[in-house]
């Protein structure tokens, strides 16, 4: 198995001995599902300015200023989210949970793929694109990924323009109060979700898998450091440089979709 066999084995040995591992995931885990990461070359933040489109206020004014550009990128993202299927990395994390090794997956991803892979205990710090939240009463409602995307693609094509007024007509309505709902994701400047639970999971684990994240968005990126302070072993899987070097016990510079199944195979 390639040149990192030693690292894969070292990770397998550490994981085989624990029942209290946690995974901390970033967009790299879904890259092999065809979903673009944010900061790799050609990533989402190279194509849209996060300060313009990464906040809810910014998104509204960018839409008003240049709706065609933003909607063009939005359509491409919708296509990617529609075609995506969970990859061997997501499935290996679900396997590790079933094997009684992995307690929690803490993810920054909003794509729902870790749920679809069958993991039971997932903390989605940046929310979920396919869960709607009511703007008035806060009630939440989970929708199915593929039917929702089909509906959006069809209705967006039939809109007369992409003004805020027109787009709002597509928003689902809250069953409880009738107000409009928006995707329950965390934009810049908004509070992350489930922070106490995420920190608890980071502090309680004795091994943390740090997977496919550039580790630049806080407070999420603090979790591996918190886990290390509490004595956890840190296993990092990321083909590129990352800011966790000084706390890393085992570093596997590979794609998660390749390395994670290889680790599971070694443990079995």
**Annotated active-site positions, please?**
126
CA distance 171 to 190: 20
Query: Closest distance between ligand OAD and the C-beta of residue 192, in Å?
Result: 8
Interface pick for ligand OAD out of 238, 244, 252, 263 (rule CB under 6 A): 238
CA neighbor of 22 nearest in space, from 256, 241, 200, 148: 200
Contacts with ligand OAD, 124-143, as mask; x by CB under 6 A? --x-----------------
Contacts with ligand OAD, 6-45, as mask; x by CB under 6 A? --------------------xxx--xx----xxxx--x--
Sign of the four-CA dihedral 109, 77, 155, 53:
positive
Enumerate long-range contacts of 246-249, CB under 8 Å, 24 or more apart: 248/210, 249/14
Which positions touch Zn ion (CB under 5 A)?
Answer: 134, 136-137, 139, 174, 176-177, 179
Neighbours of 118 (CB within 10 A): 14
Strand 207-211 and strand 233-237: pairing?
parallel
Residue 108 makes contact with ligand OAD by CB under 6 A:
yes
Query: Closest distance between ligand OAD and the C-beta of residue 165, in Å?
Result: 26
Owner of token pair 């939005």: 74
- How far is CA 217 from its chain centroid? 12
Considering the complex, state which of residue 174 and residue 214 has its C-beta at the smaller distance from ligand OAD.
214
In the complex, the residues that contact ligand OAD under the rule CB under 6 A are 26-28, 31-32, 37-40, 43, 108, 126, 186, 212-214, 216-217, 237-240, 242, 255-257
């Amino acid at each position: 198995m390639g040149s990192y066999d030693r690292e894969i084995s070292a990770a397998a040995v550490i994981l085989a001995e624990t029942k209290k591992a946690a995974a901390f995931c970033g967009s790299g885990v879904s890259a092999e599902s065809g979903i673009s990461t944010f900061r790799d070359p050609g990533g989402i933040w190279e194509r849209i300015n996060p300060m313009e489109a990464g906040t809810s206020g910014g998104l509204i004014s960018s839409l008003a200023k240049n709706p065609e550009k933003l909607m063009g990128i939005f359509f491409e993202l919708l296509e990617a989210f529609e075609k995506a299927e969970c990859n061997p990395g997501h499935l290996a994390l679900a396997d590790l949970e079933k094997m009684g090794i992995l307690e929690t997956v803490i993810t920054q991803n909003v794509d729902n793929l870790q749920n679809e892979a069958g993991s039971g205990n997932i903390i989605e710090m940046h929310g979920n694109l396919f869960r709607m939240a009511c703007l008035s009463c806060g009630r939440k409602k989970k929708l199915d990924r593929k039917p929702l995307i089909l509906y959006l693609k069809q209705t967006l094509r039939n809109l007369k323009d992409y003004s805020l007024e027109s787009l709002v007509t597509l928003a689902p309505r809250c069953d409880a109060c009738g107000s409009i709902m928006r995707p329950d994701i965390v934009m810049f400047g908004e509070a992350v979700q489930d922070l106490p639970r995420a920190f608890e999971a980071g502090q309680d684990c004795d091994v943390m898998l740090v997977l496919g994240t550039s580790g630049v968005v806080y407070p999420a990126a603090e979790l591996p450091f918190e886990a290390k302070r509490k004595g956890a072993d840190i296993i990092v899987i990321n083909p590129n440089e990352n800011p966790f070097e000084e706390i890393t016990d085992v570093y596997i510079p590979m794609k998660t979709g390749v390395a994670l199944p290889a680790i599971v195979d070694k443990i079995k």
